Structure 1
């Protein structure tokens, strides 16, 4: 699954650590999501979408 997490994080000027802290997950989790090595749970995907002011579908794309 492709995602826009890295691009959105950079636009907001956040480090992986800062985003992880805001979402209650580790920097490693953010890195794994950005690298498409880990698909977030639905609750985490929703928290990410709310944090970025987007819908889940705008951030995560099923290929």
Structure 2
């Protein structure tokens, strides 16, 4: 019988990263879809990242930061990490 993974527990760190990305995106006046496209990600995946539901990889964080026109270190500082 296959095992079922427990539901993802929302980490405060992931939620802070997502909030920092969302705040930068909204401040830039771009849609979630436009950001996802610029970062080479699926829009639904971007939504999950912004809600803290995905453990985003470093490579995707770099892509998102580049699409937002900022350094990854800036996003991490804004996420209080």
TM-score, length of structure 2 as denominator length? 0.66
**Pairs aligned (count):** 63
The aligned counterpart of 2:32 is: 16
| Larger RCO (alpha carbons 8 Å, 6+ apart) | 1
Q: What per-residue deviation string (whole Å, max 9, x for no partner) do you get for residues 9-61 of structure 1?
A: 10111111111111111111111111011121111111112222333232234
The aligned counterpart of 1:7 is: 23
- Which ranges of structure 1 fall in alignment gaps of 5 or more residues? none
Q: Could you say which structure has the higher strand fraction?
A: 1
Moved over 3 A (4+): 60-63
Please tell me whether Structure 1 or Structure 2 has the larger radius of gyration of its CA atoms. 2
TM-score, length of structure 1 as denominator length? 0.81
The aligned counterpart of 2:68 is: 52
- Which ranges of structure 2 fall in alignment gaps of 5 or more residues? 1-12
Indicate the RMSD between aligned Cα atoms, in angstroms.
1.7
Equivalent residue of 2:25, what SS? helix
Within a 5 Å distance, the mapping from 1:17-36 to structure 2 comes to 17-36=33-52
